[in-house]
Amino acid sequence: MTLPAASTYRTLADSDDLWWRSAVIYQVYVRSFSDDNGDGTGDLAGVRSRLGYLKQLGVDALWFNPWYPSPLADGGYDVSDYRSIHPSFGTLGEAEALIQDALALGIRTIIDVVPNHVSDQHPWFQAALAAGPGSPERERFWFRPGRGPDGDEPPTRWPSNFAGDTWTRTVNPDGSPGEWYLHLFTPEQPDLNWTHPDVHREHEDILKFWFDRGVAGVRIDSAALLVKDANLPEVPLTPAPGEHPNTDRDELHDIYRSWRAIADSYEGTRVLVGEIWLPDVERFARYLRPDELHTAFNFDFLARPWNAAELHESIETTLSAHAPVGAPSTWVLSNHDVTRPVTRYGREDTTFAFASKRAGTPTDLALGLRRSRAAALITAALPGSLYIYQGDELGLPEVEDIPAELLQDPMHFRSLGIDPGRDGCRVPLPWSGTAPPFGFSPANASTSPWLPQPIGWRELTAEAQQSDPTSMLRLYQSALRIRAEEPDLGDGRFAWLSGAPDVLTFTRGDTFLLVANLSAHPVDLPDHQRVLLTSETLVNGMLPSDSTAWLEVLPSATENSDRPHHSA
Ligand code: NOJ
């Protein structure tokens, strides 16, 4: 296919410079979204064919998990070429066409960049292995001799987010044991050395490569991990802020300032979205200062249990942390790394923590679905941008019975099987029909989907849900339509109202009011002009347990708020 010159790529530049402050962003895990060519793996042609579905859902942007060539040792977060597309997904030309097709529907594209590490098959790492100790090629990574008399102890004992070791020893060309290299994740994901100018230059160039092709933003993987203390000290028991040897180091901010300058040099607002898991909200907010990242994922809310006081505290802490830097918050119920909300909220322990993930925990999926519906309306009404992970709009549960031999996630294997891993939230979507592959692959597909779909998903297909006005899909469609129409939703004013115990009540602007009943009993609704949407049917005018209502009220109803307003 012939490509237009970079300057002719269309963007939505003129329409709305502040789009990112309130956008609804749908996360596409390409491998599991839609398979056009029948090889059992989702692809870009599959996404293009479903753009109408995404438009109807009402999203403003798509975030694609890494779509680059990769050995898939970590689901694509092991990138071997940042300027191309995985051959199973399609071609660069198809990606460019997809970006443009989506834009024609008013939908922007955000891509994933992975700057902390590359694939061990990346040409830089292959060159470093071949060039040997002391070579300039090894300077782009963290190669070090081992400790101990024979060098057979790793240079540090840093823990890995994936359990297991963070250093792997190389073998010299003559077969003798060689240097070690650092990998905070799997050995197939060697960490880059961000003190090296090549590493900076390369990533700045990658950003330009994709911005030139019309992408509206980048999601930055493991954004708080790039910089390491070159002295390689051990991790202190309680590191002082900025003194952890591999997390949240102060030098990171200069990197993001230079990325921001690149983003700002393009027309339209190109956004930088950080994947930042940091418990210290003040440190988290520092990444969102006006000349750094635009937004970062707010993971606090998804880690909290289904409990009004906890969610109240999470919302309050989040808004208070963002206010001083003027950045909008993001709201995220799940992603490709965590347990699906329908499953999590259906358990006795509704918190999320990687270490507490357990397959086989008793789960009430009907309760989980009910709470997920209520949670969807809470997050969609909070100020800032909203992320929806593919399949959450269908209320898909975590798949917990994938046969062991089909599991792929290194988190599972590196935990020695204790962590069930993340495959259960990555199962291919059910689109239509009554039997697998449920329209994910064409009827004449040569292979089954790369992970098997439960037979029970026949009731959860997009097709079945579209014709059921009470379905999760229809709830999401209604919520996003109202969100788009209501000027008070998205970015803007927020205030709490005091309500009954275990009930969250807040207002947006002058006339929008949300009530979420997390108590065990139905509650009365406050005076209102109109019910805009509820996650469950009202019973005798009352809001049942585990449900949320969106109300239109008179401006006077929002006057007795009990907290200061947060405004953008
Ligand atoms: C965060 C990504 O979301 C996750 O899927 C990946 O395994 C790690 N970063 C490492 O890249």
Checking if the pLDDT of 65 tops 50, the result is yes
Measured in angstroms, how far is the CA atom of residue 162 from the centroid of ligand 1? 10
What is the band of 10 on the pLDDT scale with cuts at 50, 70, 90? low
Cα separation, 218 vs 33, in Å, equals: 20
| Structure tokens that stand for 332 in this block | 């995220």
pLDDT tier at 419, thresholds 50, 70, 90: confident
Residues with CB under 6 A from ligand 1: 74-75, 77, 114, 185, 221-222, 275, 336-337
Contact 381, 489 (CB under 8 A): yes
3-state secondary structure 164-193: CCCEEEEECCCCCEEEEEECCCCCCCCEEC
Q: Closest Cα to atom 3, ligand 1: which residue?
A: 337
- CA–CA separation, 561 vs 323, rounded Å? 18
Q: What is the separation of C-alpha 248 from the centre of its chain, rounded to a whole number of angstroms?
A: 19
How many Cα atoms are found within 13 Å in the side-chain-facing hemisphere of 202? 21
pLDDT at residue 553, rounded to an integer: 96
CA of 138 to the centre of ligand 1 (A): 24
What spacing in Å lies between the alpha carbon of 291 and ligand 1's midpoint? 25
What pLDDT score was predicted for residue 526? 96
Q: Write down all domains in the chain, each with its CATH number in brackets.
A: 6-117+198-476 (3.20.20.80), 123-182 (3.90.400), 493-558 (2.60.40.1180)
Q: State yes or no: pLDDT of 244 exceeds 50.
A: yes
Atom of ligand 1 nearest to the CA of 410: 7
Q: Which residue has the tokens 């109300």?
A: 551
Reading the block at residue 305, the tokens are: 């249990």
- pLDDT at 567 (0 to 100): 38
* Tokens encoding 243: 């003194």
Q: Confidence band (pLDDT; 50, 70, 90) for 499?
A: confident
* Residue 12 in this model has a pLDDT that exceeds 70: no
Best probe residue, ligand 1, of 31, 225, 337 (max atoms within 8 Å of C-beta):
337
Q: What integer pLDDT is reported at residue 356 of this predicted model?
A: 65
Which of 563, 371, 385, 354 has the alpha carbon at shortest distance from 475?
A: 371
Atom 11 in ligand 1: residue holding the nearest Cα: 77
Residue 415 pLDDT: 87
pLDDT for position 15: 64
Q: Give me ligand 1 centre to Cα 77, in Å.
A: 6
Residue 170 has pLDDT above 90, yes or no: yes
**Measured in angstroms, how far is the CA atom of residue 222 from the centroid of ligand 1?**
7
Residue whose CB lies within 8 A of the most ligand 1 atoms, among 116, 221, 336, for a mutation test: 221
Q: What are the φ/ψ torsions at residue 460 (nearest 5 degrees)?
A: -105, 5
Of 166, 180, 205, nearest in space to 128 by CA:
180
What is the end-to-end Cα distance of the chain in Å, rounded? 44
Atom of ligand 1 at shortest range from CA of 411: 7
Specify whether the CB–CB gap between 333 and 375 falls below 8 A: yes
Quick: pLDDT tens for 112-167: 999 999 999 999 999 999 999 999 999 999 999 999 999 999 999 999 988 899 99
Please answer whether residues 566 and 500 qualify as being in contact, where contact means their C-beta atoms are separated by less than 8 angstroms. no
Q: Whose CA is nearest to atom 6 of ligand 1?
A: 77
Alpha-carbon distance of 167 to 540, in angstroms, equals: 62
Banded model confidence at residue 7, pLDDT cuts 50, 70, 90: very low
Q: Which of 222, 336, 419, 426 to mutate to test the pocket of ligand 1 (most atoms within 8 A of CB)?
A: 222
pLDDT of res. 11: 55
| pTM of the full structure | 0.96
Residue 65 alpha carbon to ligand 1 centre in Å: 10
Question: Which one-letter amino acid corresponds to residue 303?
Answer: A
User: Is the sign of the CA dihedral 261, 262, 268, 274 positive or negative?
Assistant: negative
| Run of H or E including 301 | helix 300-303
pLDDT at 417: 86
Over range 20-32, report the average pLDDT. 98
* Residue 464 binned pLDDT confidence (cut-offs 50, 70, 90): very high
Place of tokens 């357990």: 358
Q: How many angstroms separate the CA atoms of 115 and 486, rounded? A: 38
Residue 5, pLDDT score: 44
The mean pLDDT of the chain is 94
513-536 as b/e: b if 16+ CB within 10 A: bbbbbbbeebbebeebeeebbbbb
| pLDDT given at position 338 | 95
Per residue in 188-215, pLDDT (tens digit) is: 999 999 999 999 999 999 999 999 999 9
Ligand 1 closest atom vs CA 74: 7
Least confident of 98-107, 114-123, 234-243, 353-362: 353-362
pLDDT at 263: 98
Determine contact, residues 27/390, Cβ cutoff 8 Å.
yes
The protein residue with its alpha carbon nearest to ligand 1, atom 5, reads 337
The tokens of 287 are what? 């990444």
Q: Rounded to the nearest whole angstrom, what is the distance from the C-alpha of residue 47 to the centroid of ligand 1?
A: 22
Confidence of residue 560 (pLDDT cuts 50, 70, 90): low
Q: Retrieve residue 376's tokens.
A: 């969807």
Q: How remote is the C-alpha of 312 from its chain's centroid?
A: 22
Q: How many angstroms separate the alpha carbon of residue 241 from the centre of ligand 1? A: 23
The answer to whether residues 132 and 179 touch, using CB atoms and an 8 Å cutoff, is no
- DSSP letter string over 189-257? SPBB-TTSHHHHHHHHHHHHHHHTTT--EEEETTTT-S---TT-PPPPSSPPTT-SSSSS-TTHHHHHH
User: How far does the centroid of ligand 1 lie from the alpha carbon of residue 72, in Å?
Assistant: 12
Rg (Cα) of the chain, in Å, rounded? 24
Question: Tell me, what's the pLDDT at 8?
Answer: 42
**pLDDT for residue 14:** 47
> 75 C-alpha vs ligand 1 centroid, how far in Å?
8
Distance CA 98, CA 95 (A): 5
Cα–Cα distances (Å) from 507 to 378, 530, 546, in that order, read 11, 14, 19
Mean per-residue pLDDT for 282-295? 97
Which pair of structure tokens corresponds to residue 347?
Answer: 């358990």
Which of 31, 162, 185 to mutate to test ligand 1, by most ligand atoms within 8 A of the CB atom?
A: 185
> What are the angstrom distances between the C-alpha of 123 and each of 81, 119, 185, 354?
8, 9, 19, 32
Closest CA to 267 of 6, 12, 5, 8: 12
